[in-house]
Chain A
């Protein structure tokens, strides 16, 4: 009997109720209640998020959810951002597009991260989906302006085109002119990643002119400062703006024009861009500073005093990203100023201007972060590059900011100890996980022993993502994490002495996680094979660019290892330097 008393609502009513349930977690829970709910739910799910494009096949998704309108896919592992994943590894989206083209004619939104997108894929999107609205290509590669031209020309109701941090092959600057005159629907356009010649400015101006709903616009570096005023005057309704090049010789008329244009943007809350910033032009922003909640100066080679001045005009700042300059100025003072004026700060990111510099830079230290932790009680998310740290500072930060959800600290020199005591930073990071009970993401650095992992395993119950480099002493460290962190989804490790023991002893844990990356560790080929054989729901992939892993003894460690759970079985698009440990796949060379 399909419908019991408690469930005597008609399907339409349930469907209507389910339509209010948007979160994936809740949707998944709903689908597990009973068979009929599962059936109803799957027919009305409109949005699917796939955190690993190889965890499931397009066919499986289509079979289960026939009426999807929005899809989000992620491809390469996170460490691909730092060149640890060789080119050609995978993450191709074409097959997904091809299958969805037939199955989802009403697909309106595609969001991709770290995937390889070709012009062919883009042309297929343009051709196949009549109601296409949103294309977000975050950190993607493999396509050119030809593909963009196809999207621009065909997608009559395009609302969002966001290419942030992607690599685009520059073939022609005129793709923007492909947006038909009838296209007035753009709400968001991010072309900040494009190189010099890829944008026709007049086409851009005309586009901005005819899109009254444009709220978010990120220009690329080719757009010079004098042109910004023109754009802004055409789009005073902008909420989020990324300038292009913010450099020009100081000319009073250019300045006043710019200042006037900014002040006419009454809704502007978020700024980014500022390439090659000329500080003399920063005061043009002062009129909008009091409204700013987000400021991304991480491309701007801005010096501390200018930063201090600017930031002191922004009392409502919630999100600040900036680049620390290696100069004579004491950068900690800039952070102290920030701490005193931006009480609402929730997110802080400090990037190194000279990450490969050999000389130690003492102008930014742990003191800056401590000051911010003291002055900004709402701080939730930190990404901080520096060259020294102490346990005492970390403990202070942990106590000041118990609401931290993301804490990523990168002490630039690997294995740097506490600079005051020369001890490992175990206690400091231990305090972070202990006090910050909602911590979801953590990146470690500095000198660390197995003890820090013991703390993490004990306290990091909500931890979902952990990044580890040059840390630990033995398998015990990895064992603590795998056995203790109940919510762990993604674990990425490089250059740590973790071997087979912990991995094999916690093999089942791996099925509860999205993925595990280990490179330059001590996991043997034999252990990888064992995992591949015994765990059919895991894809165990060994990456080695120099020679096949089976040309060496089984006890030899593998170079790179990527393990992820999958219901789709081993993938078919592996390049020659990736070996699957699945028993069904023969290693051919």
Chain B
């Protein structure tokens, strides 16, 4: 069963693009902090002499890594056609970029402000909203929700709706459409524990800044075709509803 969340939003404000210098890496901010639209993502300049492979010196100290891989020792089934051609073209020194081996950032300082900023930016919800983290398989997440002590009622409902046991959370994935953006995103409802968390993730996903957040309301369409506010529904029922209805985000 598939649901759709629609987002309607005002045109995004133009954010000037800054060019990025490899020497000042401290400006790096992760994608998560900036939202997926990330117009202010620092742009990386490629190094010099990068297009002409014939000019590049061999810097790689490990010789085995430059072999074509047909030797059979490391790989199991990778077979190249001309086995007995001694003049086989093995790219010994194929580097598309000269590695200058110069430190280009402050990587010696472990308490780099960079880490602090990134940490707090990404993880303000305690990791909620990060796809695929922690790296636990989807069916394991289901198991965890069965814990009688820790599990809230909504989790049990979720388990009931999706069938007990091995089914993965494919059925808890919701498509989110945004007005003005042609391609939908997907969000896994089962990793969220509150309406707040869900909204935060959606806002981050579509790059809606904090200021614009209040403009948008998450709504769902009931069987009669009326659009009702999702936040009026207690969270534990949201899953139950979501499985049967279509959702949309209105301004």
B140 contacts A by Cβ under 8 Å: yes
**Does B76 make an interface contact (CB < 8 A)?**
yes
* Residue in contact with A32 in the complex, picked from B77, B83, B150, CB distance below 8 Å: B83
Residue contact A353 to B95, C-beta cutoff 8 Å: no
> Does A385 count as interface, using CB distance less than 8 angstroms?
yes
* Segment with Cβ contacts to B, from A12-20, A45-53, A431-439: A45-53
The CA-CA distance from A244 to B108 in the complex, in Å, is 53
Chain B residues closer than 8 Å to A440, beta-carbon distance? none
B251 at the A interface (CB under 8 A) = no
Return the CB mask of B130-168 against A: 1 if under 8 Å, else 0.
111111111111011011111000000000000111111
Cα(A87)–Cα(B46), bound, Å: 33
Question: Which residues 421-459 in A have Cβ within 8 Å of B in the complex?
Answer: 422-424, 443, 447, 449-451
B97:A500 contact, CB within 8 angstroms: yes
Q: What separation, in Å, do the CA atoms of A559 and B72 have in the docked complex?
A: 33
Q: Which residues of B contact A483 (CB under 8 A)?
A: 60-62, 65, 99
Chain B residues lying within 8 Å of A194, measured Cβ to Cβ, are: 165-166
Is B103 engaged at the interface, CB distance under 8 Å to the other chain?
yes
- Pair B28/A351 contact, Cβ less than 8 Å: no
Find chain A residues with CB under 8 A from B64 CB. 486, 512
Q: Looking at the complex, which one of B62, B81, B166 makes contact with A167 (CB distance below 8 Å)? A: B166
Partner of B95, one of A84, A351, A494, A507: A507
Say yes or no: is B73 at the interface (Cβ < 8 Å to chain A).
yes
Check A323/B143 contact, CB under 8 A, given A530-B96, A565-B78. Answer: yes
Interface 1/0 per residue, A342-364 and B, CB below 8 Å: 00000000011111111000000
A28 at the binding interface (Cβ < 8 Å): yes
Contact A474 B25 (CB under 8 A): yes
User: Which A residues are CB-close (under 8 A) to B32?
Assistant: 495, 520
Whole-angstrom CA separation of A150 from B66 in the bound complex: 48
The answer for the CA separation of A178 and B70 in the assembled complex, in Å, is 46
Contacts of A48 in B (CB 8 A): 77
- A487 and B74 in contact, given A354-B144, A504-B96 (Cβ under 8 angstroms): yes
Q: Are B59 and A31 in contact (CB under 8 A)?
A: no
Binds B, one of A154-162, A257-265, A310-318, A545-553: A545-553
**Could you show 12 A-B contacts with beta carbons less than 8 Å apart?**
A38-B83, A56-B79, A82-B131, A82-B138, A220-B165, A410-B134, A415-B115, A415-B123, A506-B95, A508-B92, A522-B44, A553-B17
List B residues at the A interface (Cβ < 8 Å).
17, 22, 25, 28, 30-32, 36, 41-47, 50-51, 53, 59-62, 64-69, 71-81, 83-84, 91-99, 103-108, 110-112, 114-115, 118-119, 122-123, 125-128, 130-141, 143-144, 146-150, 163-168, 170, 173, 181-183, 185-186, 188, 191, 193
User: Residues on A close to B: CB < 8 A?
Assistant: 24-25, 28-29, 31-32, 34-35, 38, 48-51, 55-56, 60, 64, 79, 81-84, 86-87, 141, 165-168, 170, 192-196, 220-222, 275-276, 298-299, 301, 323, 325-327, 351-358, 385, 410, 412-415, 417, 422-424, 443, 447, 449-451, 467, 469-470, 473-476, 479, 482-484, 486-487, 489, 494-495, 497, 499-502, 504-509, 511-512, 514, 520, 522, 524, 526-527, 530-531, 534-535, 537, 545-547, 553, 555-557, 559, 565, 567, 577
